[in-house]
Chain A
Amino acid sequence: MFHLAAGRVGSLAAKRATAALSTSSARMMASHGHEVSTAVDMSKPQYTDSADYPLPDVPYKQVLTDADKSLKQKEKGPWNQLSKEEKLALYRLKFLKTYPEMRHSTPEWKTALGAALFLMGLTGFIVWWQKVYVFPKRPRTFEGDWPEKQLKRMLDMRINPVQGISSKWDYEKGQWK
Chain B
Amino acid sequence: MSLAKPMMRGMLAKRLRLHLPLAFVVSFSSALAFNLLIAQPRKRAYAEFYKNYDSVKDFNAMREAGIFESVRPIEK
Q: Which of A18-26, A38-46, A118-126, A151-159 contacts B (4 or more CB under 8 A)?
A: A151-159
Chain B residues near A84 (CB-CB < 8 A): 1
A-binding residues in B (CB < 8 A): 1, 42, 45-46, 49, 58, 61-62, 65-67
Task: Pick from A153, A156, A157, A163 the residue with the most CB of B within 10 Å.
Answer: A156
Task: Give the total number of A-B pairs whose CB atoms are below 8 A apart.
Answer: 21
Return A19 CB to nearest CB of chain B, in Å: 31
State the A residues within 8 Å of B (CB): 84, 87, 153, 156-158, 161-163, 167, 171
Min CB distance A161 to B, Å, is 7
Which of A87, A157, A162 makes the CB contact (< 8 A) with B67?
A: A157
Task: Name the CB-closest residue of B to A163.
Answer: B45
Provide the main secondary structure of the chain B interface. Answer: helix
CB distance from A116 to the nearest CB of B (A): 30
The answer to whether A162 and B61 touch across the interface, beta carbons within 8 angstroms, is: no
**How long is the Cα–Cα vector from A159 to B42 in the complex, in angstroms?**
17
List residues of chain A with CB within 8 A of the CB of B61: 158, 171
B residues less than 8 Å from A162 (CB atoms): 45-46, 49
Complex formed: what's the CA distance from A76 to B67 in Å? 96
- B45 to chain A minimum Cβ distance, whole angstroms, is 5
A156 and B67 form a contact (CB under 8 A): yes
In the bound complex, CA of A153 to CA of B66 (Å): 9
- A156 close to B1 (CB less than 8 A): no
Kindly list chain B residues whose C-beta atoms are within 8 Å of the C-beta of A163: 42, 45
Q: Which A-chain residue is minimally distant from B59 (CB atoms)? A: A158
Q: Which residues of B contact A157 (CB under 8 A)?
A: 62, 65, 67
